[in-house]
Structure 1
Amino acid sequence: MSDSKKVLICISWLTTGGTQIQTLNLIKSLIEKHYQVVVVCYFGEIPQMTRRYEKTGAKIVIGNLNEEENLFKKSLHLYHLLHGVVRKEKPNIVHVQYMAPGAIPILLLRTMGIKNIIVTLHTAADIYPSLKLIHFLQKHCVRAFTCITLLAEKSFFGNAQLYTTKTQLDKRNHFTIYNSLSEHFKISNTPKTFNTTITLGVVSRMERIKGMDLIIDAFALIKKRFPSTRLMVVGDGYSSVKDNMRKQAIELNLNESIQWTGRQPIEELPEIYKQMDIVLIPSRSEGFGLTAIEAMSQGCVVVASNIGGLPEIIKDGVNGLLHQTENIKDIAEKTNYLIENPDVMKQMSEKAIEAVKQYSIEKYTELFGDLYRKLV
C-alpha cells in the first residue's frame, strides 16, 4: 500500500471512554477507505481496548510514558516516542485526538516536518484558561480542526459550521463532524411500545461529573408516584460513587427495583437499551453525549441535562426532554410527565429514531473520508 495512504493517530490513553470509542470508529472508517492506520498511545492501555483496535487491522504502539513526570521530561520522552514512530512509518497525515498533554504532541510533530495535522477537539473551550495557543496552532501548525459539536467549535473559534462534502479547506480549517454510532448499533425501524411498567436506564461511568450521585434520589421521587417503575444501572467507575448509590438505594428501600449490571461490552448494549424505555443522562458536563444517540437509535426516550452537546442532540419536547442541570426535582418531573403520557413518549420515540440517522457510521465514514481525501 502506498505511503500516501498512511495515517498516524495519536491518543493519550487506550481506555473504554467515549473518545476511544469514537477513535475506534474513525479507524474503521479509514480502513474501509483503504488507509493504512498506525495508532500511537502515549501513556497506557486497557488490553481489552487495545485488542479491539488491533482487530480492525490497525498497528498499535503503546508508549507507556509516565504522565506524572515534569513537563520537560514528559516532552522529551514524548518526542522520542513520536519521532521513532514517524521515522519508521512515514505517515502522510497525523490525526491528534484531543489536546492532551496540551499542545505538546502537535508542536513536536510540526518540528518533525509533519504538515498534514488534523486535531479533534472533544470538549468546549471553557476548560482552557486562554485560547491564544489554540489560535496559534490554527494559524501555523494544524491543517484542520474538527470539533464534535457546533457549541464546541463556536467556543474555540467564534463561529461554527457542519462539515459537508462541499466544504473547502482553503477557505476554512475548522468545522464540526458529529460523533457516530458504532457499527453494533442498527437504528430501529419502529418506535417503542410503552406499557404500564416503565424501565428507566442509565448507561454511564459511575462518576460525579456524569451526575450519577443524582440518580437514586430522582428515582425515589419517580417511584413515589409510579411504584411499578424499575431502574437499570449499566456501567462501572469510582467505587465511592458506586458504593454510595447502592447505599442510598438500600436506605430508601429501592434496591429490589434496581438492576445493577456493571460495565457491559459495547456489543451487548443495543439489546440492553431495548430493555429500557426512558434513558436518563444527568451529566454536569458532556462534550457530546454518545449515550443519547445510542439510546435514541433503539427508540428510547432520553431525559438529559441541558448541558454541553446534549441540546444539539435532544430537541426539547420533540425527540426527548432536557432538564435543569443538577436539579433532581426537575429530572423526576420530566420523567413523570413522560410516564403519564405514553402517547407523547411514542411520538418522541419516533422522532428520536428519525433524528439519530444523522449520526450513522455511514455518514461519519463519508465525511472523514472526504476530509482525508482533500488533505492527501
Structure 2
Amino acid sequence: MKNTIFLSFSLAESSVSDYFLLLAHEFNKEYKVVIFSDVKKSENITLSNDIIVKYWPSVRPTKLVDGIFLYQNIKKYKPVLTVSIFGSVNIFLIVGFLCGVNKRVAWIRTLSSQFPQKKLLIVRKSLVYRLSTNLISNSQATKDDVVQKFGVAKNKIKVLPNSVADSYERIILEETKYKTITYVGRLHNSKGVDILIRAFWVVHTQFPDFKLIIVGNGAEKNNIENLVKELSLEKHVEFKGNLSKRKVLEVFKNTYLAVIPSRSEAFGYTVIEAMSMKTLVIGANNTGIAEIIEDLKTGMLFHTGNSIDLAKKIIQAIDQPLLREKLANEGYKHFIHNYELKKAIERDYSYFKSLINT
C-alpha cells in the first residue's frame, strides 16, 4: 500500500501552480497524492485520475471548520509528509503537529517586510514555524529573513529557488520588438513602481517613442496613476491590469526590456519569467533579485530606490541594442541552467524523498 503525501496550494493558472502540479505528478509515481486547494480547478489544468483533490470549506483556510476538515483527512489518509504554502501554512502546521504527522514542511516565499510588522503577528508566526519539521525558502534572502525575524534555526531551512517552465517556443514573437519597457507585479509600495515611473520620465525625455507597460493591480494603483499624471506621462504609460500567465509571457517576449524595481523581494518570479522569454531584466540590487541577476552578465542591476541610476541603466540598454541582446541571451541560459521547471522538480523531489526516508 502506498504512503500518502499532502500538498496544499491553489489550483490556479500560475507559475506556483505549475510547479506543484508537476511535483504532484512526480510524487504520484510512488505515493498517493492528496491536493488541498482554495480555488476550484481550472478546466485547463490536467491531473492524473488517481490524484485526489480536496477543497477547503472556507475561501481562506483559517477557520475552525478548516481545521476539523484537515484533521479528518489526516486521520483518514495518514500522510507521511505534508507540504503547504501561503495561506494554508498555519493550519497545516498546527493540525499536522497535533496529529503527529512525521514530516511537516512549510514553504516560505515572501519577506516579512512586505507585510504589516505587528508584534503579535510576528510572535504568532514564530510559534507556528516551531511546529514544522522543515522549512523551505525560495532564496538566501528569505532564509536570512526567517532566521532573523522569527528565530528559526538555520539548519531547519532549505533554500530551493522558484522555477518556471521553458515556454519560449510556445509564445509568439512579433516581427519587431515593441518599443516598450514592462513591469509585472502587484502595485504595492514594496514593489517600487513609483521609482520606475520617475526613471521612465527621464528616459522619455531622450526616447519619447518608448512606452511603459504596467501589468498588475494593487493598493497603490491610485497613487501611481496620480504620479503618472503629475509627470504628464498619461499618453506614454499603459495600465494593463491583471493578465493571465500566458498573456504575461507574451508581453515579456515582445517587450524591449523588463524592470523589477522592488525595494525588497524574496525572489522575484517575474525575473525568471522575463528571462525565460529571452528578455533583458533590469532589477534592483537587493535581496532575492540580486541572487538571480549578475550585473552586466545575465542582466543589469541598479541601486535600490535610485530612479536616476535606473534611468541610466535603461538608457544604456536602449543605446546599446547589441548589449541588450547579449544580456537577454545570457539571462535565458542562466534561467535554463538554474530555474527551469523540470530540472527544479528533479532537484526538489530528491530532497523530499530524503526527508521521508530519514
TM over 0.5: yes
Change (3 A) 1:132 1:75: closer
Match of 2:26 among 32, 46, 53: 32
CA deviations on 1:106-161 (whole Å, 9 max, x unpaired) are 132121021122221213466786799759956xx544322111222244458xxx
Change (3 A) 1:222 1:15: same
Aligned length: 339
Q: Distance in 2 between matches of 1:136 and 1:83?
A: 17
Alignment-derived partner of residue 162 in structure 1? none
Does residue 1:61 correspond to 2:54, yes or no?
yes
Greater shift after overlay, 287-296 or 241-250? 241-250
Alignment-derived partner of residue 167 in structure 1? none
**Contact 1:209–1:283 under 8 Å retained in 2:** yes
Change (3 A) 1:351 1:21: closer
Identical-residue share of aligned pairs (%) = 21
Structure 1 gap ranges (5+)? 69-73, 159-171
**Contact 1:123–1:287 under 8 Å retained in 2:** yes
Superposition RMSD in Å: 3.5
Match of 2:8 among 3, 7, 10: 10
Displacement of 1:185 in angstroms is: 5.0
Greater shift after overlay, 261-270 or 59-68? 59-68
**Contact 1:194–1:346 under 8 Å retained in 2:** no
Alignment-derived partner of residue 111 in structure 1? 98
Displacement of 1:301 in angstroms is: 1.1
Alignment-derived partner of residue 329 in structure 2? 350
Partner of 2:287, secondary structure, is: coil
Change (3 A) 1:151 1:52: farther
Paired residue type of 1:198? K
TM-score, scaled to structure 1: 0.77
Partner of 1:86, secondary structure, is: helix
Match of 1:319 among 292, 295, 298: 298
Paired residue type of 2:350? D
Alignment-derived partner of residue 160 in structure 2? 177
Alignment-derived partner of residue 230 in structure 1? 211
Displacement of 1:173 in angstroms is: 4.7
Displacement of 1:90 in angstroms is: 2.9
TM-score, scaled to structure 2: 0.80
Paired residue type of 2:264? S
Partner of 2:163, secondary structure, is: coil
Alignment-derived partner of residue 146 in structure 1? 136
Paired residue type of 1:255? E
Alignment-derived partner of residue 213 in structure 1? 194
Partner of 1:175, secondary structure, is: strand
Structure 2 gap ranges (5+)? 149-154
**Contact 1:9–1:37 under 8 Å retained in 2:** yes
Alignment-derived partner of residue 263 in structure 2? 284
**Contact 1:53–1:60 under 8 Å retained in 2:** no
**Contact 1:212–1:282 under 8 Å retained in 2:** yes
Paired residue type of 1:227? P
Alignment-derived partner of residue 166 in structure 1? none
**Contact 1:213–1:241 under 8 Å retained in 2:** no
